[in-house]
Structure 1
Amino acid sequence: MHKTRNYSIAGFTKSLYLPEAFAWVAALIALALTQPDEAHLFSFCPFSYVLEWCPGCGLGHAIAWLARGELKASWQAHPLGVPAVSMLLYRSWQLINLHIKQKRQFYHN
């Protein structure tokens, strides 16, 4: 069973499941809305600054191509694009279900 991740503010306990789920979905939507055929001007990746190579480079482009239904271009940008999107969508679904279970437990006790 999953441990409940909660925080308390003035005695009121709130779950962190829903914010995390929305963060993953928002990140996927943001990546889907980018233009994958344009070069990126800025990167948050420390590997690209220090080593000028990163194992995750192209993953954002792969997700953007995937959102447009371009599987071949997505694969060419990064082969882990489809597994990454699948994993993040599954994780979001899992977190939403955990949030619902937690709410049911709270109201039934």
Structure 2
Amino acid sequence: MGRANTGAVQRANYRLYLPEAFMWLVGLIVLALMQPDIEHLFSFCPFSYLLEWCPGCGLGHAIAWLARGEFAKSWEAHPLGAPAVLVLGGRCLQLLRLHFNYKQTTRK
């Protein structure tokens, strides 16, 4: 009985692998393409509206500076910019690997 449920869960999760990978990749690309040296007028961050402080503030700028090869400016914007890119890039690779491995095992 447990194996049947596991298969159903895998099938349900399989449908989400590509959309999640696509979402993370698009997010990273959008952040990399933004202009980090200009002031931004709008923020999606609820912390910045409620508390006027956010532990993630500067993370988008750090990723944008990192995409331009400005490592010192990236570090100044937020020290976790490079680790965030590595973690999200690794998650995308993991999701793509899971997608294609599941696809190959179901063909057999």
Tell me the number of residue pairs that the alignment of Structure 1 and Structure 2 aligns: 100
Identity across the alignment (%)? 64
Answer 1 or 2: which has greater strand percent: 1
Question: TM-score, normalised to structure 2's length?
Answer: 0.88
In 1: Cα distance, 2:48 partner to 2:11 partner: 33
Question: TM-score, normalised to structure 1's length?
Answer: 0.88
Letter in 1 for 2:98: L
Query: Residue 64 of structure 1 aligns with which residue?
Result: 64
Gaps of 5+ in 2: 1-8
Query: Residue 4 of structure 2 aligns with which residue?
Result: none
More relative contact order, 1 or 2 (CA 8 Å, 6+ apart): 2
Let me know the Cα RMSD of the aligned residues: 1.3
Runs of 4+ residues deviating >6 angstroms: none
Query: Residue 10 of structure 2 aligns with which residue?
Result: 4
Answer 1 or 2: which has greater helix percent: 2
Query: Residue 23 of structure 1 aligns with which residue?
Result: 23
Shift in Å, 1:4:
2.5
Letter in 2 for 1:89: G
Gaps of 5+ in 1: 8-13
